[in-house]
Structure 1
Amino acid sequence: MQIKDVVLAPGNGAFFYDDQGAIRSGAILDGFIYVGAPTTPGFNSIRIPASSLSVGLVLNDDTVVWGDMMNVQYSGAGGRDPLFDTNQISDLTSRVVVPRLLDVDASRYLDACAKVFEPSEHKQLPLAIEYGVSQALLRAAAHLHRTTMAEIVCGEFSLPLPTRGVPIYCQSGDAREINVDKMILKAVDVLPHGLINSRQKFGADGQTFMTFVKWVATRIRDIGGPGYHPVLHFDVYGWIGQEIGLEPQSIADFICKVADTVPDFLLNIESPADFGSTQAQIENYAKIVSILDNRGSSARIVVDERCNTLEDVRLFAEAKATHLVQIKTPDVGSIADTARAVLICKENGVGAYVGGSCTETDLSAQASVHVSVATQADMMLAKPGMGVDEAYSIVGNEQNRLLAMLNRRRVRAKNVG
């Protein structure tokens, strides 16, 4: 077998793990920390530096290929896996996963993933393990076949080699105005995220949020280059439902009102409300989608909370309970399942956004690019971190390198032919 050893290395995620429950309950920012007691199990404070765990596969030629495990920023919320525990994950990986890795054919990517991620003691492995190990296995297959990770994905899922890039979406974090300017100057495809995650940022009846939306549109016109016309995408973390109420009609009315303030732009509203369970989310989001579509609104809703796993993505897509699914890569688990999730969205006429979290790493971001481009997702997140510059360069440069390599491959094949 091609894997002769496995090494583990503790690491850092690019942002912090945050207790969403405490923040929604009104925890106040003091500088960069939140003041108050945590409410989500596993958190000993509301904001904790993100940790990660790298898994390195030592191949027979002594090449080491890596993948990174971590959880998302709001771990333990909305049906997600609990807070990442490096020691616990390291122990489980060493005991259960390593022996399996030493016994697979790493050149057969999907087969290797299926064998390594079999349940242990009748339980699914933590999704963080699936995520990190699947990245390493994808890099191993690419190395063994002397090809790119994207080409492995295309081969395994019988997809044509892509010729086009995927639009990139940047997130602002709390430095909203400065980061919006950066995004505009860099002509980012989709912006700005906004981090509308508290009553202070949303405002009474959403007025603070609406003012920000109008400011972003005005700023694009003021400092954007000729012909620059990005998609506007705002993540409101359920605050429309929190402030306006959980009636789908009222939520749709509010979204239409926001869209009317920026009529020249396509508007994405992510996580308009949290209805408390996956089933309730599907039923109510489907109603919101139907209302918006019947009105011919330019606004689209994007699901995040309560749509975590591959099966969740399937349920939302088949029910037409969203216009766009955020496929949150660490929550989906195996990055092969991210590819499957994009394809499920396409089969059902729903938009596929390969997202993830600010808590990720450069390695997980680069692997996500290859899956996004191979499956031709509708957009992908610039990650990791909450800044613009680093994440946009990591994802954008990886995409450009990949497209250059694929183009070279096509040209050579044509010349040989």
Structure 2
Amino acid sequence: MQIKDVLLASGNGAFFYDDQEAIRSGAIQDGFVYVGRPTTPGFKSIRIPASSLSVGLVLTDDTVVWGDMMNVQYSGAGGRDPVFDINEISSLTSRIVAPRLLGVDASRFRGSCTNVLESVGQQRLPLAVEYGVSQGLLRAAAHLQRKTMAEIICTEFGLPLPTRGVPIYCQSGDAREINIDKMILKGVDVLPHGLINSRQKFGADGQTFMDFVKWVATRTREIGRQGYHPVLHFDVYGWIGQEIGLDPQRIADFICKVADTVPDFTLNIESPADFGSTQAQIENYAKLVSILDNRGSSARLVVDERCNTLEDIRLFAEAKATHLVQIKTPDVGSIADTARAVLICKENGVGAYVGGSCTETDLSAQASVHVSVATQADMMLAKPGMGVDEAFSIVGNEQNRLLAMLNHRRSQNENVEEKTLSDAKLS
């Protein structure tokens, strides 16, 4: 028995849970709060502080490894799990999950995830539980095998040890201009998200958004170092469809128009429209991809809403209904499924972006780095929080430490192989 006890500790997510429907419907911001009544079930106000729950696995050598549970910022929207209820999640974890954890071989990551995260009857465990518990199990396997979490992923999925890092993507939150300057000065690979989540930010016929895109490109040239050329990535929260309509041809026309304003940059447009269901999203996003590709546009379509679980990601990738999938880690559930999702995207020639949410924690962000690097995702989100400095530091430093450890491990293995060959020749 490698796990002898289970601990739970309440915690904070790094940002807030927001009622997306209320914001889309025109809720007014007053300072940092939104004024008005919430419309999504589970929200007592439109913006509430994000909570989290840490699960600690006490191993037989008394080491405690942790994973963090939480939901995403826009919980309850686009087919996602409802807003995080710490009391409900704590009770379920104590009753159902903790007894399972005491009986698994924690050195086998994928096997232990399968056993511990099994459905209860026909009901899947809350995705937040899957996410946090699987982080703990990944750390447990890494500790027991004296390896990094990335090495565990590589071993269990038959992947070579990575030699290079993954591009990092930062999001600005509402403090857009200052945070974008920070991103440019720090040489972030992909920027700025922009939080285009209201009619005010998108503008009539999208003009405000287009002006913002041009400003980001201009600012990059003005204060960026020589040769700095980031990918420009904007999340528009479905506002192209809301403002212009849901005709794929018109949406593609608008995206191409935006791309033409910044011809020297690769442009990612995330969530251009919400077509109301996963199937409708797949059908219409596939049309958008086809139109953009046929035109030779430099713009890339990124799917988020309606593409939550591993099965959703598989459907979008196989249908070529996006250029890039945001693998929103708390919505996917088990972090083993995040690894599977990246590999499914690669098998289908679709880009894999290991994202997540500003509501996450330092621990979940670090675990995501190991999965991203091990699977060689196309990019990964700097998280948690909406501040550039903290998130970029947590994710960037963890990646650099990981690569240094992997290089050291590789060097040691090469030395052992050389000595073995030398000894063989002498004998």
Please name the residue that 1:87 is paired with: 87
Please name the residue that 1:245 is paired with: 245
Please name the residue that 1:181 is paired with: 181
Matched residue SS, 1:320: coil
Matched residue SS, 2:51: strand
Give the C-alpha shift of residue 178 in structure 1: 0.3
Matched residue SS, 1:41: coil
**1:229 to 2:224 alignment:** no
Please name the residue that 1:163 is paired with: 163
Amino acid across the alignment from 1:404: A
Give the C-alpha shift of residue 413 in structure 1: 1.0
Please name the residue that 1:298 is paired with: 298
Amino acid across the alignment from 1:35: V
> What are the residue-to-residue correspondences of 1:107-126 with 2, within 5 Å?
107-126=107-126
> What are the residue-to-residue correspondences of 1:51-130 with 2, within 5 Å?
51-130=51-130
Amino acid across the alignment from 2:254: F
Matched residue SS, 2:150: helix
Larger gyration radius, structure 1 or structure 2: 2
Please name the residue that 1:7 is paired with: 7
> What are the residue-to-residue correspondences of 1:19-30 with 2, within 5 Å?
19-30=19-30
Whole-Å Cα distance in 2 between the matches of residues 181 and 82 of structure 1?
Answer: 34
Give the C-alpha shift of residue 342 in structure 1: 0.1
Matched residue SS, 2:302: strand
Amino acid across the alignment from 1:132: G
Whole-Å Cα distance in 2 between the matches of residues 96 and 121 of structure 1?
Answer: 12
Matched residue SS, 2:12: strand
How big is each residue's C-alpha offset from its partner over 1:111-169, in whole Å with a ceiling of 9 and x where there is no partner?
00000011113210000000000000000000000000000000000000000000000
Whole-Å Cα distance in 1 between the matches of residues 147 and 341 of structure 2?
Answer: 23
Please name the residue that 1:272 is paired with: 272
Amino acid across the alignment from 1:214: K
Please name the residue that 1:367 is paired with: 367
Whole-Å Cα distance in 2 between the matches of residues 357 and 119 of structure 1?
Answer: 25
**1:148 to 2:148 alignment:** yes
Matched residue SS, 1:368: helix
RMSD over equivalenced CA pairs, Å = 0.4
> What are the residue-to-residue correspondences of 1:306-385 with 2, within 5 Å?
306-385=306-385
Whole-Å Cα distance in 2 between the matches of residues 387 and 213 of structure 1?
Answer: 20
Matched residue SS, 2:399: helix
Whole-Å Cα distance in 2 between the matches of residues 416 and 325 of structure 1?
Answer: 40
Matched pairs, number: 417
Matched residue SS, 2:353: strand
More moved, 385-394 vs 113-122? 113-122
Matched residue SS, 1:305: coil
Whole-Å Cα distance in 1 between the matches of residues 267 and 282 of structure 2?
Answer: 21
Gaps of at least 5 residues in structure 1 are none
Matched residue SS, 1:393: helix
Please name the residue that 1:203 is paired with: 203
Please name the residue that 1:287 is paired with: 287
Please name the residue that 2:403 is paired with: 403
Whole-Å Cα distance in 1 between the matches of residues 325 and 79 of structure 2?
Answer: 16
Amino acid across the alignment from 2:203: G
Whole-Å Cα distance in 2 between the matches of residues 224 and 118 of structure 1?
Answer: 49
Amino acid across the alignment from 1:9: A
Please name the residue that 2:388 is paired with: 388
Q: Which runs of 4+ in 1 moved over 6 A?
A: none
Give the C-alpha shift of residue 320 in structure 1: 0.2
Give the C-alpha shift of residue 412 in structure 1: 1.1
Matched residue SS, 1:228: coil
How big is each residue's C-alpha offset from its partner over 1:220-273, in whole Å with a ceiling of 9 and x where there is no partner?
000000110000000000000000100000000000000000000000000000
Whole-Å Cα distance in 2 between the matches of residues 123 and 193 of structure 1?
Answer: 35
Amino acid across the alignment from 2:375: T
Matched residue SS, 1:58: strand
Please name the residue that 1:216 is paired with: 216
Whole-Å Cα distance in 2 between the matches of residues 87 and 305 of structure 1?
Answer: 27
Matched residue SS, 2:268: strand
Give the C-alpha shift of residue 32 in structure 1: 0.2
Give the C-alpha shift of residue 414 in structure 1: 1.0
Whole-Å Cα distance in 2 between the matches of residues 335 and 119 of structure 1?
Answer: 16
How big is each residue's C-alpha offset from its partner over 1:150-204, in whole Å with a ceiling of 9 and x where there is no partner?
0000000000000000000000000000000000000000000000000000000
How big is each residue's C-alpha offset from its partner over 1:343-372, in whole Å with a ceiling of 9 and x where there is no partner?
000000000000000000000000000000
Amino acid across the alignment from 1:212: F
Whole-Å Cα distance in 2 between the matches of residues 244 and 355 of structure 1?
Answer: 27
Amino acid across the alignment from 2:69: M
Whole-Å Cα distance in 2 between the matches of residues 29 and 241 of structure 1?
Answer: 23
TM-score (norm 1): 1.00
Whole-Å Cα distance in 1 between the matches of residues 111 and 391 of structure 2?
Answer: 32
Amino acid across the alignment from 1:402: L
Gaps of at least 5 residues in structure 2 are 418-427
Amino acid across the alignment from 2:366: Q
> What are the residue-to-residue correspondences of 1:11-50 with 2, within 5 Å?
11-50=11-50
Give the C-alpha shift of residue 45 in structure 1: 0.3
Matched residue SS, 1:56: strand
Give the C-alpha shift of residue 23 in structure 1: 0.3
Whole-Å Cα distance in 1 between the matches of residues 378 and 389 of structure 2?
Answer: 22
Matched residue SS, 1:211: helix
Amino acid across the alignment from 1:392: F
Please name the residue that 2:422 is paired with: none
Amino acid across the alignment from 2:31: G
